[in-house]
Amino acid sequence: MPAFRVELGPHAHDVHVGPGLMAQLGELARSAGLIPGRAAIVTDSNVAPLYAAAVDGALKAAGFVPVVVEVPAGEASKSLEALARLYDRLTEAELDRASPIFALGGGVIGDLAGFAAATYLRGLPLVQIPTTLVAQVDSALGGKTAVNHRAAKNLIGAFYQPRLIVADTAALATLPAREFREGLGEVIKYGAIIDAPFIAWLESAMPAILAREPAPLEALVERSLRHKAHVVANDEREGGLRKILNFGHTLGHALEASAGYGSYLHGEAVAIGMVAAARLSARYAGLSADEASRLEALIEAAKLPTRMPPRWQSENFLRALRLDKKRARDAVEFVRLDRLGHALTRKLGFDEIVILDQAR
């Protein structure tokens, strides 16, 4: 039984969430309509030794004949060079247009293998098998695939929906602590923008979540993905509603860029961005100061940062905000909360950004 279906008309697909699902991958792939035969498992150098054999075995048991293609772990593999090497391997494996690509790993693998699947032979069936919390609650669903260009992140990409998503929550057990907590930033985001009861649940479940107990992990991944699926199903190509997923991201991106990529993980910068956006919401959008503090306390309970560093290069930060790719003249798109669990988007004038910068 799938956890749920992402309703995208001709691109509709199932999502399965639960511990131990990698062992059933072969059957799941067959019931999603994928045809046994040649296939590729694309993974990275950290994930391969942990999970490639299990996925390979499960696929072989169902009649697939996969090759395992391993790329070095890390963001550097989301490059045109790594993509070119990946195409080479797919050619050597003699894949045809029915051969599925299984993206086994975090968001880097999902984006890279997803873009390869979108483009190789004008499109191969794609299966997402996310193994990080970020990938399980966010990047595996939604169809955004990309590689980076030296000029900017995710500059070269495509919207390309997977045929199936299998989130094996048992894989989260081996994730380093910092990467695990990072994913919680995006989880809290869904509560803040869509689901106030989820915030209350996260508040009480946080100790069990941080201890990575299986039941709360499964519940958290499924609920997060359902929210993303709902938003994406109503706005596949980011025309309107999908923008609310950028809550905390305008400031988060600026912080990532101005602090130098690598100082903050994305989810950490977004955590700080959400706290700032909540304070801004309390000032301009009807969120109460108590609700803003409650969100901050939850982010703190997830052991994520909530404040920008004290000796902050204000000018770099403002420059980065202005360079935000969603900017329009002197305004940036800013997602605010009018209450916990409900988001609004609005263009924020440059003056307001300066006020925010001074208030932080």
Ligand X SMILES: NC(=O)c1ccc[n+]([C@@H]2O[C@H](COP(=O)([O-])OP(=O)(O)OC[C@H]3O[C@@H](n4cnc5c(N)ncnc54)[C@H](O)[C@@H]3O)[C@@H](O)[C@H]2O)c1
Q: Which spans of this chain sit near ligand X (rule: CB under 6 A)?
A: 44, 46-47, 50, 73-75, 78, 105-109, 111, 131-132, 134-135, 138-139, 142, 144, 154, 171, 174-175, 179
Active site residue 60: no
From 223, 226, 253, 294, the catalytic residue: 253
Q: Specify the residue, 249 or 294, whose C-beta has the smaller distance to ligand X.
A: 249
Residue number with CB closer to ligand X (75 or 352): 75
Catalytic annotation present for 303: no
Angle, vertex CA 356, rays to CA 355 and CA 359, nearest 5: 90
Instruction: Say if CB 354 and CB 331 are below 8 A apart.
Output: no
**DSSP H/E element including 23:** none
342 is catalytic: no
Q: Which of 75, 236, 238, 333 is catalytic?
A: 238
Spatial distance between the Cα atoms of 317 and 326, rounded to a whole number of angstroms: 16
Residue 311 neighbours by CB distance under 10 Å: 5
Which CB sits closer to ligand X, 83 or 282?
Answer: 83
**Is 89 designated active site?**
no
* Cβ at position 128, least distance to ligand X in Å: 10
Q: Is 186 a catalytic residue?
A: yes
Which of 283, 261, 305, 257 lies closest to 358, judged by CA?
A: 283
Tell me the closest approach of the beta carbon of residue 355 to ligand X, in angstroms: 29
Neighbours of 288 (CB within 10 A): 12
Min. distance of Cβ 85 from ligand X in angstroms? 17
CB closer to ligand X, 189 vs 279: 189
Give exposure, 258-281, as e/b (b: 16+ Cβ within 10 Å). Answer: bbeeeebbbbbbbbbbbbbbbbbb
Residue of 94, 122, 311, 329 with catalytic role: 122
* Residue 249: active-site member: yes
The backbone region for 98, taken as left when phi is positive above 0, alpha when psi lies in -120 to 50, beta otherwise, is alpha
- Nearest approach in angstroms of CB 151 to ligand X is 15
Q: Which of 78, 249, 294, 336 is catalytic?
A: 249
Residues 13, 70, 227, 246: which is the catalytic one?
246
Residue number, 14 or 70, with CB nearest to ligand X: 70
Q: Six-digit token pair at 356?
A: 């925010």
Q: Which residue has the tokens 């969120």?
A: 287
Please confirm, yes or no, whether 46 is among the known catalytic residues. Answer: no
CB of 311 to ligand X, least distance (A): 27
CA distance 280 to 292: 9
Residue whose CB is nearest to ligand X in the complex, by number: 107
Q: Catalogue the active-site residues.
A: 122, 144, 186, 228, 238, 242, 246, 249, 253, 266
